[in-house]
Structures are given as C-alpha cells and as structure tokens.
Amino acid sequence: MTAVVLTGSGMTRLTEQKTEKLCLIGAIPNDHCDRFGRAVERCVRTYRRLRERKSAPEVEAELAQIEKCIWRALRLLDHATWRAAEFRRVLEDISARLHHLSPAAQDYLDFRHLKIQADGVLAAWPDSTEPGVLIDPVCFTSRDDQVLALLDLLGAFAAPVAKRQVRGQPRKDLERALYHFMAAAYSRDTGRAASDSSTRFLAVCLEIKRIYQLDDWNLESLARSARRPSAREQ
C-alpha cells in the first residue's frame, strides 16, 4: 500500500488512512487530525528542502541572517530552563527583519508567490489561510504556534531557486529541528507535552519516519537536551 501521495513540485501528501493511523497512535482528537496531518506534511517538506537546498545569490545573505535567527530560536527549545524573554527577543528580531526586507528579497518572495502576514495578534492559527501566506511568528501568543510559524519561514526561505548549491545546515541541527517542529504540532493538537519521555509522541515520530522513509532522521540518537520543557514550564 502506498504510504504517501506525490503531488506537484515533489511534495508529499499523507493519505487519509495514514493520517488517521498517526492520530490513533498519538491519541490526537478527531477534530484535530486534519490539522495535525497538514503540519506533518509541512514539517517533512521543510526538512527535505533543507537537506538539499539551493538559494538565490542576490538574497542569500539577507535571508541567511533571518534563518540564523530562526535557528537561534529553535536552539532555545533545547535548554533545560525555558528562557521566555530571550525567545521573545529573537522573535522580535525576526519580525523586524521581515518588516524591512530589501526590494530584492521582496522580489524573491513575490516570484515564489509568498506573502508575509505581519500585523495583528493571533490566539491560534486561522481556520484557513491563503496559499503562500507566511505568518510572522511574533503575531502568535502560543509558543507551539510560534514554532510552527518558524517552520513555515524556514521552509520558504530554503526553497531552491538557483543552480548554485550552498553549504547546508549541519545534519544534527536539521534532525533536532524536525523533532521540535513535530513536538510543537503534537503538543498543540493534543494539549500534552511532547518529549523523549512520551511514548505516544515517540511512537508518532517513528511512524512518520517509516511513512516518509526518513532513514537519515536518527530520532533515537537525539541528545536528551532536545526534550521539550514540561507542561508546567510552558
């Protein structure tokens, strides 16, 4: 049986059956299954783009600075003690950079039919968003939603648009980023903390690894420091 459905641009889409199985394994409420499935697709798509990415030389340096800020925010998730103020400062730095993109970077986003929504405060993701809309992470009040917004930015900026290959992010960083993205989606849709001590969360991750044949995602070898903070720390 085919695990995933191939769509345009080499993307992969979970079948309804596979989505239901993931939600059953993770005890994800039925009314959140579709949303969780879409988040998984976005996580895997971004991970694959980052593994084999190419970027436009004229905007590479500018977007690389934003990407560096995104990685800085993600690494804060690895700390045993949650640093909310520092995380917020990094999000605000990202927001400022998004508000002041150069014309070349704006052209790059327009070329890829991407638009950044950077106004307003959102308690949660809108029920529906226009295709290509990226939401500034600082707009969200929930940390899990902020992390998923970082995911979208990272995936968009890593998309291939030129022939020149650039040096990729260290492999272990990519593996940990995928872990954190999955953890944010799981925590948001179950209301439970996701960590390497959660058997349901790990079972979901292992099933995703099997479905997408992510043989290079060594989930089992991630350092214990990659654990999500406990629910009381959030």
For 10, other C-beta atoms within 10 Å of its C-beta total 9
pLDDT score for 161 = 47
DSSP calls for 123-148? SS--S---TTEEE-GGGBSSHHHHHH
Contacts of 111 (CB under 8 A, 6+ apart): 161
Cα–Cα distance list, 203 to 1, 23, 26, 121, 199 (Å): 20, 11, 7, 34, 6
The most distant pair of C-alpha atoms in the chain lies apart, rounded to whole Å, by 48
Residue 169 confidence (pLDDT): 53
CB 152 within 8 A of CB 42: yes
Residue 209's pLDDT is 92
* pLDDT (0 to 100) of residue 207: 94
In tens, the pLDDT along 30-78 reads 999 999 999 999 898 888 877 765 555 667 788 889 999 999 999 999 8
Q: Give this prediction's pTM.
A: 0.66
Predicted pLDDT of residue 222: 64
Please tell me the distance from the alpha carbon of residue 106 to that of residue 118, in angstroms, as a whole number: 14
SS3 (DSSP) at 5: strand
Pairing between β-strand 133-135 and β-strand 115-117 as defined by DSSP bridges = parallel
The pLDDT score that the predictor gives to residue 47 is 84
Instruction: Give every residue of the chain whose pLDDT is below 50, as ranges.
Output: 1-11, 161-166, 223, 225, 227-234
Three-state secondary structure call for residue 117: strand
Q: What does the domain layout of the chain look like in residue ranges?
A: 4-233
